[in-house]
Amino acid sequence: MEFDNLKEMWDKEKISETPEISMIQQKEIHLPLERLRKKMRNEFWSTVVFFVFIILFFIFKDFHFFKFKVYCITLVASMMMVTGFYFFKFFQLYRNMGDINLSTKESLRDLMFQFKLNEQYYVSFYIAFVPFVVCEMLLIFDYVPSLKMIEGLNFILIFVGSCLLMLTVLYLFGKWWFSYFYGKNMRKIQKIFNDLK
pLDDT in tens, the chain (197 residues): 565 665 565 565 544 445 566 667 767 777 888 888 888 899 899 989 998 998 888 888 877 778 888 888 889 889 999 999 988 888 888 887 777 776 677 777 888 888 888 888 888 888 888 888 888 888 888 887 777 778 888 888 888 898 899 888 888 888 888 888 888 888 888 887 787 75
Q: Point out which residues pair with 125 in neighbouring strands.
A: none
Name the pTM for this structure: 0.70
> Distance between CA 144 and CA 142 in Å, rounded?
6
List of long-range contacts for 175-180, beta carbons under 8 Å, 24+ apart: 178/119, 178/122
- The domain limits of the chain are 20-195
